[in-house]
Structure 1
Amino acid sequence: MAKRRREGSSEKRCDCGKRWRKHLYLVLDDWDKGFSIHKIDALSFLDDSDDSDDDAGGTLRRLPDPPAVRITEARHSPMLFAGLGTTIFFANKKQLSPNATGALIYDTETAAMAMGPGLPENPCCVFVAAGPGETKDDKGRKHNENEKLYTLDHGGRSNHPSGHLMGVSVHALSWARSPAAVAEPWLPSHEWAWESVGAPMAPFDGNEETVVSYTVHPDGRTIFFSTRGRGWVPAGTYSFDTERREWRSHGEWVLPFDGQGYYERELDAWVGLHEDGYICCCQAATATPGAVPEWRKTEQKLFREGDRERHLGATLTYMGNNVFCLVESVVQEGVEPGRAYGAGRGCALHVTVFGLKYSRDGELQATVRRVTKSYAVCKYIPGFTHEAFWM
């Protein structure tokens, strides 16, 4: 049988002129000294002739060995992971000393590691890339100079009698021109650098658990944040215009998905992971305050059926051209949830690639090209499940 056309295929040319294909990069705590980054050709899932779930029988594969990179001695403090362009950043969330190591940078295009700047003082767990535009450095390497990685910093405290944190500032990481290279031209012309965005403080509580969902508007520059109610501040949705550096309130409603949502042009909507394993599709809100956007969810769950207690966490990643990747972390059958951590392979990753469409009745459903692969994995850190990046 002929192979199916790879819908959603995303290939580009690297600096040497060769075609370079994107991959799924999974960050896992699968060894006793730290983290591993595994590289998976998720688009190859769509080459399978069988349109159904080919792991329905419970087959568990092994992840590609060796991993793309391993990060050692990284289990003693909480880690934050973020992606921008072809680069994965990882750093200790809490800097244990002023001389602590800054962020480590893994370039997926060159498979090279480098040192980068440390995180802002009190970063939120939310990192989101926004802003189009591509440039080249002095060696001809392409970078999105206008695309930056934004995060919130909750280092300040308001004078409100409740004592709630309200000093929420915005910081941005970018591949920027190095000031030192002006005086010393032999130095690299660009470097990774954080900057404090000159903007008013965010109009919501600064606790890192406040932001429950976020996404980027189709304009590419406006970031939406939904927050849970906390103390005297009700739940609501806010937007930050990274170009004008302005905050706006959109009302006391929240986006219907958990974590990050992605704009899909074919559906003209934001797509995100709804509670209990449903996928939801939400009309993109206007950049100016307006009505609550309409949304709907799939009739069927995409999570594996099983004991809710065995479910450890899930992420949704956008692969482009109406193709998505759901990664679900669970405890294997026959293993007690409390004994799933350690040297044994007590957990599993279910990686599902699928598309979305509306039925004739207007119902949102996963397309027939939905395919799942399952992998046996080890786990060592109870508070961490996995991170997934498409680049």
Structure 2
Amino acid sequence: MTKRKRSEERGCRTARRPRPAQEPKQHLYLLLDDWERGYSIRKVDVEAFDSDTNTPPKRFTEPPHVRSWNFISHASKIFAMKAKEASPAIPAFDTHTMSLTISPWPSCRAGYLEDRTEYLADPPPYDSNAPWSWSTINSPLPFYNVQILCYALHPDGRTLFVSAGSRRKNLPSTFSFDAERLEWAHHGNWLLPFAGQAYFDAELEAWVGLARDKESSGYLCSCDVPPVAAKLTSPPSWKLGQDKMFSKDSELHRGAKLVYMGDSKFCLIESLFHKDDQHSLSDLCDGCPLRRRRVLHMTTFGLKYNKVGNLQIMLRQAHACMMFKRPHDFTEPSLEPLEPLAFWI
């Protein structure tokens, strides 16, 4: 007699296990300054990338628009952190619902970036009438925002490591912030080897990011994760990748952004001037048009340590590129970010 019949004779049946809910498919989102009144949000499917580096720029559907100078992402949303004196609230674009929501600025927003820190707590329950509000962190920033060199989230999910200049001793240092205790800790007068954001790769058991040193620009590097418990630690060991991803010395190069897609897979987005634009930024004069056209080269790849422990690109690479034109003739370089605005959501 089968097990199923025996169970039915005893008056019970084996319940079917519910299928786990499928998580929404993630995409690469690019924010492009190609609109007279704001930025375009472009949704890119990296699985559609072609292995041929000579593929023409792809066309994307007409996107929604927002306007800002600073962008951050959290969960499924992209926040447009507009200048605090120009916006009464912070718009957020939800990539799942394709809609805009609004979150408030902190009441003390004038100067809060340097003198104190505010954080936006989790939103209240859906059926609650409580407002979505900010809270103050009593622990002051041990550095100035303009001194930040790189940062990475610890695999514990609650500790953020930041390498920056120190307010007190004026020495480059590495700090960590505990998001549960809301406290900063000083780990030593040393710096993580990255430029900008780095990401924890569980398979490599290390942080991965773009190398910061001038001699190593264009390369990836991996770094051991320092312990959180110890306040003062020695610099962690790190390795420089063997594959050069881009040339920072090129006259066309503007900036690059590394995005982690999970499972040891990454996407590198490089921003360049268009090669056919004849005008150079070094030759600016009254009436000289600026180079408006931008080209984004996107490369997806995987990372592994080889048999001798060196960091290498081991998985298949795929490429894509797209071009857009800025509608402005801004002459102030600070009005256009060098690093591509890209998020994996």
**TM class by smaller structure:** 0.7 to 0.9
- Equivalent-residue separation in structure 1 for 2:128 and 2:306 (angstroms): 53
User: Does structure 1 residue 87 correspond to structure 2 residue 87?
Assistant: no
CA distance 1:104–1:352, change in 2 (3 Å): same
After TM superposition, list the pairs within 5 Å mapping 1:237-386 onto structure 2: 237-275=174-212, 276-287=217-228, 288=230, 289-303=232-246, 305=247, 308-335=250-277, 336-338=279-281, 339=289, 341-342=291-292, 346-379=293-326, 380=328, 382=333, 383-385=336-338, 386=340
Deviation for aligned residue 1:234: 0.5
Deviation for aligned residue 1:189: 4.6
Select the residue among 191, 195, 203 that pairs with 2:135.
195
CA distance 1:95–1:277, change in 2 (3 Å): same
CA distance 1:23–1:30, change in 2 (3 Å): same
- Equivalent-residue separation in structure 2 for 1:84 and 1:283 (angstroms): 25
Q: Which residue of 1 aligns with 2:117?
A: 170
Q: Which residue of 1 aligns with 2:3?
A: none
User: Does structure 1 residue 387 correspond to structure 2 residue 334?
Assistant: no
After TM superposition, the runs of 4+ consecutive aligned structure 1 residues lying more than 6 A away are: none
User: Does structure 1 residue 36 correspond to structure 2 residue 40?
Assistant: yes
After TM superposition, list the pairs within 5 Å mapping 1:114-153 onto structure 2: 114-118=101-105, 121=109, 153=112
Deviation for aligned residue 1:172: 1.6
Query: Given residue 301 of structure 1, which amino acid in structure 2 is its aligned partner?
Result: K
Q: Which residue of 1 aligns with 2:7?
A: none
- Equivalent-residue separation in structure 2 for 1:291 and 1:340 (angstroms): 47
- Equivalent-residue separation in structure 2 for 1:243 and 1:177 (angstroms): 18
Query: Given residue 384 of structure 1, which amino acid in structure 2 is its aligned partner?
Result: P
Select the residue among 62, 65, 71 that pairs with 1:70.
65
- Secondary structure at the aligned position of 1:43 is classed as helix
Question: Structure 1 vs Structure 2: percent identity of aligned residues?
Answer: 34
- Equivalent-residue separation in structure 1 for 2:290 and 2:319 (angstroms): 22
CA distance 1:230–1:314, change in 2 (3 Å): farther
Deviation for aligned residue 1:193: 2.9
- Equivalent-residue separation in structure 2 for 1:301 and 1:323 (angstroms): 17
Q: Does structure 1 retain, via aligned residues, the 8 Å contact 2:273–2:291?
A: no
- Equivalent-residue separation in structure 2 for 1:214 and 1:306 (angstroms): 21
Q: Does structure 1 retain, via aligned residues, the 8 Å contact 2:218–2:248?
A: no
Which stretch shifts more, 247-256 or 270-279? 270-279
- Secondary structure at the aligned position of 2:47 is classed as helix
- Equivalent-residue separation in structure 2 for 1:309 and 1:102 (angstroms): 39
- Secondary structure at the aligned position of 2:236 is classed as coil
Query: Given residue 70 of structure 2, which amino acid in structure 1 is its aligned partner?
Result: L
CA distance 1:42–1:189, change in 2 (3 Å): farther
Query: Given residue 104 of structure 1, which amino acid in structure 2 is its aligned partner?
Result: P
Deviation for aligned residue 1:244: 1.9
- Equivalent-residue separation in structure 2 for 1:315 and 1:44 (angstroms): 20
Q: Does structure 1 retain, via aligned residues, the 8 Å contact 2:142–2:166?
A: no
Query: Given residue 389 of structure 1, which amino acid in structure 2 is its aligned partner?
Result: F
Q: Does structure 1 retain, via aligned residues, the 8 Å contact 2:72–2:81?
A: no
Deviation for aligned residue 1:251: 0.7
- Equivalent-residue separation in structure 2 for 1:372 and 1:173 (angstroms): 37
Q: Which residue of 2 aligns with 1:110?
A: 97
Deviation for aligned residue 1:230: 7.1
Unaligned runs of 5+ in 2: 1-18, 282-288
- Secondary structure at the aligned position of 1:114 is classed as strand
- Equivalent-residue separation in structure 2 for 1:111 and 1:219 (angstroms): 31
Select the residue among 159, 166, 170 that pairs with 1:222.
159
TM-score, normalised with respect to structure 1: 0.71
Query: Given residue 291 of structure 1, which amino acid in structure 2 is its aligned partner?
Result: S
Query: Given residue 111 of structure 1, which amino acid in structure 2 is its aligned partner?
Result: M
Unaligned runs of 5+ in 1: 1-12, 124-152, 157-168, 182-186
Deviation for aligned residue 1:36: 0.5
Query: Given residue 115 of structure 1, which amino acid in structure 2 is its aligned partner?
Result: I
Q: Does structure 1 retain, via aligned residues, the 8 Å contact 2:152–2:162?
A: yes
- Equivalent-residue separation in structure 1 for 2:291 and 2:39 (angstroms): 14
CA distance 1:155–1:368, change in 2 (3 Å): closer
TM-score, normalised with respect to structure 2: 0.80
- Equivalent-residue separation in structure 2 for 1:191 and 1:284 (angstroms): 37
Which stretch shifts more, 328-337 or 219-228? 328-337
The number of residue pairs the alignment matches comes to: 305
